[in-house]
């Protein structure tokens, strides 16, 4: 009986780390898509491929907010990821959620 309990505990821990890996990979994909979206919008705003008449909707100064919107969305994604790390802090390395919160806050301040 004791061996089965240990196997069940190991299976739960293994399931947690598989789920954690899935969450972290998905977070990396979201970051990559957000930064790619920003790069594409910045490219379109600055270079205007196909001529400036095609990108007139992006010409006003207030459209810089649209260009930087993927970065602001990434702030929300980062906050959600910190909340995940914070709720799982007992299973993760010591101070991992605080380290991520510090990185997230410094990124926000740089913008």
Kindly report the pTM of this predicted structure: 0.77
44 burial type by CB count under 10 A (0-12 exposed, 13-18 middle, 19+ buried): middle
pLDDT value at 6 more than 60:
no
Q: What is the pLDDT of residue 10?
A: 58
Instruction: Please state, in angstroms and rounded to a whole number, the distance separating the CA atoms of residues 40 and 38.
Output: 5
How does pLDDT run across 53-83, given as a tens digit for each residue?
777 777 788 888 889 999 999 999 999 999 9
How does pLDDT run across 22-58, given as a tens digit for each residue?
999 999 999 999 999 999 999 888 887 777 777 777 7
């Amino acid at each position: 009986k004791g061996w089965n309990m240990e196997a069940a505990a190991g299976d739960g821990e293994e399931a947690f780390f598989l789920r954690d890996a899935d969450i972290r990979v998905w977070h990396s994909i979201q970051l990559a898509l957000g930064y790619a979206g920003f790069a594409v919008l910045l490219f379109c705003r600055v270079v205007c491929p196909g001529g400036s008449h095609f990108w007139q909707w992006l010409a006003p100064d207030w459209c810089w907010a649209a260009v930087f919107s993927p970065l602001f969305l990434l702030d929300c994604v980062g906050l959600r990821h910190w909340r995940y790390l914070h709720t799982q802090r007992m299973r993760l390395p010591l101070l991992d959620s605080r380290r991520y919160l510090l990185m997230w806050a410094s990124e926000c301040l740089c913008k």
